[in-house]
Amino acid sequence: MDKLKILFLCTGNSCRSQMAEGWARHLKSDSIEPYSAGIETHGLNQNAVRVMAEAGVDISAQRSKHVDEFRDLRFDYVITVCDHASKHCPLFPGESTVVHRGFDDPPLLAKDAPNENAALNHYRRVRDEIRDFVQTLPESLKKMEKTT
């Protein structure tokens, strides 16, 4: 069986989409060929790197990529992981199916945290929610197509 090519798309490709790509590589490398990109590039969020490492997944070698880098690549699915990207998702050539599964924005949630651990707890919660979602792939994609 061929692996599904899945692009996780977010606004800046710095946090949520990077975590999703990391989880997919870690948990689903037998069935998914994961990518991540943004409609902008904001660099790799070091708090996302840190909390992923706590969970045993190293995303430190990943980099923030603009969706245009993948213009010539055909994806089976494009999964938008933030509301902004969902509303501004570019058109993809070919037969890509676009679905949305939004997650909270850890940097936004963490900006008013009283201390570093409280800030990182936002990242940890979203990291775990993304892991739980990725564990349902690719089976859950057909259901998602019907709701988006």
Residue 82 among the catalytic residues: yes
Catalytic residue among 6, 10, 99, 120: 10
* ω into 138 cis (within 30 of 0): yes
Contact 64, 12 (CB under 8 A): yes
Catalytic residue among 4, 27, 55, 89: 89
Residue 10 among the catalytic residues: yes
Residue 15 among the catalytic residues: no
Catalytic residue among 39, 82, 126, 137: 82
Span between the terminal Cα atoms of the chain, in Å: 26
Please list the active-site residues: 10, 82, 89
